[in-house]
Amino acid sequence: MASTVLVVTALEDVTADRVIAALNEREVPVARVDPADLGPGLTFSARIGAGAPVWTGRLATRSREVELGEVAAVYYRRPTPYAARGRHLPAQQRDFVAAEARHGLGGVLNHLHGALYVNHPGAVTAADFKPAQLQLAVRLGLTVPPTLVTNDVEEATEFAADHGPVVYKTFRGLPRGEDGHTGAIWAQRVDPTTFDDFLTATAHLFQAEIPKTGDARVTVVGRRAFARRITTPDGALDWRRGDWDALLHAPIALPATIEAALRDYLSAFGLVFGCFDFGLTGDGAGPEDWVFIECNPNGQWGWLPDADAITSAFADILSTDTEGVAAP
């Protein structure tokens, strides 16, 4: 019976380190692989055909060898982008190598028969679009801020007049720079009198500012939910912007209707895990105090005070076959 957990991530990933350590303590076979290492440090072979209707073969790193048929669960964390392959090559060759690796090795790793994915990369991709997130949240009965997605100056100006003060948010973080590092543009208040034709260059997300009393981060792993109220000492609009060590954390009870909606949310996207962000407009006792902001389908949680309990929840799912999502 398949029993190995395959952890797909980059070498430096403290979140994955936690889960791997927990699996090792339970004596669950675990192997770590970064697909971008494809080459002498990572070789693979996969076969399919008559008499073998699913992919079989092996995956070998410098320290481990895994039979594909022995993989029972895949913890898909944050592997190095395939584009990192072949950086020394001319652009066309580099892009070709990356695309072939993504569709070949990635195509096999993403379709291991009977394996449980936490989360499947295809589901993460679908769930990563904020317009899709907000639409689903509304369908599930969650409150969302009045939102406009546009590149139209007049529409943006009118929205600000109707819903001001207005907050601007990016859909994605900044892309990697030449030094390989990524960046972020935090949520920020905007002055509609500054809107001009530069706004037409791309899509923008504007939302009515929530009169917050605090924020909440809810980490859902399978059937377990871990909720924390987060308060910034300086009352910052975006708590991610400041000193994370200065954040004030406190447990908060999650209203039953909110918890049920979050489980339905994950199910709708085919996810097992997600990090949900809410703005709180009251003491958080009732669902009317919870305003849905977004869900990161592959978010960080190792910095939270209940990280040990979350780690255990991940290990529970990956070492059993009751709560994961099988490959398509």
Tell me, what's the pLDDT at 17?
Answer: 96
pLDDT classification of 1: cutoffs 50, 70, 90: low
**pLDDT tens, 157-185?**
999 999 989 999 999 877 766 666 666 77
**pLDDT tens, 260-294?**
999 999 999 999 999 999 999 988 899 999 999 99
**pLDDT tens, 81-130?**
887 777 788 889 888 988 999 999 999 999 999 999 999 999 999 999 99
pLDDT classification of 243: cutoffs 50, 70, 90: confident
Domains and CATH numbers, the chain: 4-118 (3.40.50), 126-145+211-300+313-318 (3.30.470.20), 146-209 (3.30.1490)
**pLDDT tens, 125-159?**
999 999 999 999 999 999 999 999 999 999 999 99
Mean pLDDT of 67-74: 95
**pLDDT tens, 5-32?**
999 999 889 999 999 999 999 999 999 9
pLDDT classification of 51: cutoffs 50, 70, 90: confident
Tell me, what's the pLDDT at 181?
Answer: 65
Does residue 246 carry a pLDDT above 70? yes
3-state SS of the chain is CCCEEEEECCCCCHHHHHHHHHHHHCCCCEEEECHHHCECCEEEEEEEECCEEEEEEEEEECCCEEEHHHEEEEEECCCCCHHHCCCCCCHHHHHHHHHHHHHHHHHHHCCCCCCEEECCHHHHHHHCCHHHHHHHHHHCCCECCCEEEECCHHHHHHHHHHHCCEEEECCCCECCCCCCCCECCCCEEECHHHCCHHHHHCCEEEEECCCCCEEEEEEEECCEEEEEEEECCCCCCCHHHCCHHHCEEEECCCCHHHHHHHHHHHHHHCCCEEEEEEEECCCCCCHHHEEEEEEECCCCCCCCCCHHHHHHHHHHHHCCCCCCEECC
- In percent, how much of the chain has pLDDT > 70? 94
